[in-house]
Amino acid sequence: MTGCSSLRYTAGSHCLSTPCWRISSKKSCCRLCFGCVPCDGRVENGLEGSGYGSWGPRHQCLPVLGCHHGRAADKMPSAGHLQAPALRVRSSQVSAGRPREREALAAVPLFQPQNLREDQVLSLEGRPGDLTCKSQRLMLQVGLIHPASPGCYHLLPYTVRAMEKLVRVVDQEMQAIGGQKVNMPSLSPAELWRATSRWDSMGKELLRLRDRHGKEYCLGPTHEEAITALVASQKTLSYKQLPVLLYQVTRKFRDEPRPRFGLLRGREFYMKDMYTFDSSPEAARRTYSLVCDAYGSLFDRLGLQCLQVQADVGSIGGTMSHEFQLPVDVGEDRLALCPRCSFSANVETLDLAQTNCPACQGPLTETKGIEVGHTFYLGTKYSSIFNAQFTNVHGKASLAEMGCYGLGVTRILAAAIEVLSAEDCIRWPGLLAPYQVCLIPPKKGSKEEAAAELTGHLYDHITEAVPQLRGEVLLDDRTHLTIGNRLKDADKLGYPFVIIAGKRALDEPAHFEVRCQNTGEVVFLTKRESWNY
Residues engaged in binding Zn ion (CB under 5 A): 338, 340-341, 343, 357, 359-360, 362
Query: What are residue 15's DSSP bridge partners?
Result: none
Segments in 142-180 forming alpha helices (H): 157-176
Nearest CB to Zn ion, comparing residues 80 and 339: 339
Least distance (Å) between residue 306 CB and Zn ion: 19
Give whichever of 359 and 522 is closer to Zn ion, judged by the CB atom.
Answer: 359
Angstrom distance (rounded) from CA 71 to CA 204: 40
33: nearest Cα among 69, 80, 2: 69
CB of 345 to Zn ion, least distance (A): 11
Residues near 92 by Cβ (< 8 Å), separated by ≥ 6? none
Shortest distance, CB of residue 342 to Zn ion, whole angstroms? 7
Distance in Å, CB of 333 to Zn ion, minimum: 19
In this complex, which beta carbon is closest to Zn ion, that of residue 319 or of residue 354? Answer: 354
Give the residue with the Cβ less far from Zn ion, 111 or 343: 343
Alpha-carbon distance 272 to 291, whole Å? 12
Distance of alpha carbon 143 from alpha carbon 125, whole angstroms: 13
Q: What length is written for the chain? A: 533
Q: Supply the minimum distance, in Å, between the C-beta of residue 336 and Zn ion.
A: 10
Element (H, E) at 230: helix 224-232
Q: How many CA atoms lie within 13 A of 21 on its CB side?
A: 4
Strands (E), 97-227: 103-104, 145-149, 152-155, 180-181, 187-189, 207-210, 216-219
Strands (E) across 380-420 are located at 389-391, 397-399, 401-408
| Cβ closest to Zn ion, residue 338 vs residue 469 | 338
Q: Which is nearer to Zn ion, 309 or 466 (CB)?
A: 309
Q: CB-wise, 357 or 412, nearer to Zn ion?
A: 357
In the bound complex, what is the minimum distance in angstroms from residue 332's beta carbon to Zn ion? 24
- Strand-strand pairing, 521-526 and 511-516: antiparallel
Nearest to 406 by CA among 257, 202, 227, 190: 227
Nearer to Zn ion, 289 or 342 (CB): 342
Minimum gap (Å) between residue 390 Cβ and Zn ion: 40
Sequence-separated (6 or more) residues with CB below 8 Å from residue 106 = 477, 478, 479
Q: Based on CB atoms, which residue is closest to Zn ion, 20 or 345?
A: 345
Residue 310 CB, nearest distance to Zn ion (Å)? 12
- What's the CA gap between 309 and 304, in Å, rounded? 15
Nearest distance in Å: CB 354, Zn ion: 12
DSSP string over 324-383: EEEE-TT-SEEEEE-SSSS-EEEGGGS-TT--B-TTT-PBPEEEEEEEEEEEEEEETTTH
